[in-house]
């Protein structure tokens, strides 16, 4: 790894932390530490008896988190994806929390570091793993995956209408020589995708799809939402920032499903006032970055923040 320093501008910083209603003595989770923007603001609002648990897959992010923990005893660091939420908190002796924040997707340092292989702006090894210490790289997967599997990943995770043609081209090309770099993949996709929305690179959707698949991003979101909600105290808050429609749809549906009364069979003689209370309360409408933030950080344009509060109702995943 080079000595270059990559910066990260935290999206919806104050909106997300404000949504948590941080209590000075509370226990909070930052499920995607990144470079610690949200974490540091949470810590500034915690008292000496508060606690903050931070998760991240990325070894570089974890190195920054451990530096912070060395300076602040209130911080506990977990080098795992947030799907390990329950196991990690149990291991720390935590049985309930006052709030959890998840900033989904990829961080600016991951995109801007050419060696990570996330961006087609650079010609670099085709890696795409958020955790470079484990798992299969994008190049390794593309070298052996079936054409149908590649098609389904690009179609479902990238919402790419040329997914079948791209998958066919990948399989044909790898028979000649392996696809090892971001530049090779981007060029191949550009040869297949002849039309695209103005300003969008032909490879955008394919790179997004492969990244999501390699890192099991949607599976992690699906796994952590019920875990986090189940750990919240009554009055505790869940705040989630999503950056593309697939993630946001999952978050929206989860919150809506658990914030509405469960339908009862027609024969059930129960008064409306006696119906079980839903376990979540949706807080406000979805929030987006303002014009000033988008102007300063164009990557904030697609961010959507959704918030829910835990009620006294019973939660069942």
C-alpha R_g of the chain:
21
Question: Has 36 been labeled as part of a binding site?
Answer: yes
The Cα–Cα gap between 230 and 111 comes to: 33
Tell me whether residue 24 is exposed, middle or buried, using C-beta atoms within 10 angstroms of its C-beta: 0 to 12, 13 to 18, 19 or more: exposed
Q: Where are the alpha helices (DSSP H) in 72-216?
A: 85-91, 108-112, 138-144, 147-158, 163-176, 182-192, 204-214
- 251 close to 221: Cβ distance less than 8 angstroms: yes
Question: Has 38 been labeled as part of a binding site?
Answer: yes
Diameter of the chain measured on Cα atoms: 69
What count of residues does the chain have? 317
Token output for 238: 């869940």
The Cα–Cα gap between 117 and 182 comes to: 6
Name, in order, each residue with C-beta under 8 angstroms of 52's C-beta and a sequence gap of 6 or more. Answer: 27, 28, 29, 30, 39, 42, 43, 46, 74, 75, 76
Question: Has 56 been labeled as part of a binding site?
Answer: yes
Sign, CA dihedral 57-59-65-70, equals positive
Q: Point out which residues pair with 237 in neighbouring strands.
A: 99, 309
Sign, CA dihedral 78-84-206-180, equals positive
Question: Has 236 been labeled as part of a binding site?
Answer: no
- Residue 44's nearest CA partner among 53, 52, 32 is 52
How many angstroms from the chain centroid is the CA of residue 36? Answer: 15
Query: Binding site for S-adenosyl-L-methionine: which residues?
Result: 36-38, 56, 82, 103, 110
Query: Binding site: which residues?
Result: 36-38, 56, 82, 103, 110
């Amino acid at each position: 790894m080079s000595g270059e320093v990559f910066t990260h501008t935290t999206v919806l910083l104050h909106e997300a932390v404000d949504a948590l209603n941080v209590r000075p003595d509370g226990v909070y989770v930052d499920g995607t530490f990144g470079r610690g923007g949200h974490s540091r603001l949470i810590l500034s609002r915690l008292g000496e008896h508060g606690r903050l648990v931070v998760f991240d897959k990325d070894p570089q992010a974890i190195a920054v988190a451990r530096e912070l923990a060395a300076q602040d005893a209130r911080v506990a660091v977990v080098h795992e994806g947030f799907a390990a939420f329950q196991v990690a908190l149990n291991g720390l002796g935590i049985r309930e929390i006052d709030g959890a924040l998840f900033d989904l997707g990829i961080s600016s340092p991951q995109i801007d570091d050419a060696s990570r292989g996330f961006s087609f702006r650079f010609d670099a090894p085709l890696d795409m793993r958020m955790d470079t210490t484990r798992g299969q790289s994008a190049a390794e997967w593309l070298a052996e995956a079936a054409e149908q599997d590649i098609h389904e990943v690009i179609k479902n995770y990238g919402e790419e209408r040329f997914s079948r043609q791209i998958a066919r081209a990948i399989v044909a090309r790898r028979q000649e020589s392996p696809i090892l770099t971001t530049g090779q993949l981007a060029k191949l996709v550009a040869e297949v995708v002849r039309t695209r929305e103005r300003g969008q690179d032909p490879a955008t959707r394919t790179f997004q799809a492969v990244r999501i698949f390699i890192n099991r991003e949607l599976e992690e979101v699906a796994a952590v939402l019920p875990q986090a909600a189940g750990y919240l105290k009554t009055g505790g808050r869940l705040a989630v920032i999503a950056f593309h429609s697939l993630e946001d749809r999952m978050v929206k549906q989860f919150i809506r499903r658990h914030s509405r009364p469960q339908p009862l069979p027609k024969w059930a003689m129960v008064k409306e006032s006696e119906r079980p209370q839903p376990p979540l309360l949706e807080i406000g409408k979805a929030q987006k970055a303002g014009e000033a933030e988008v102007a300063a950080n164009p990557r904030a344009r697609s961010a959507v923040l959704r918030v829910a509060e835990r009620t006294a109702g019973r939660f069942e995943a």
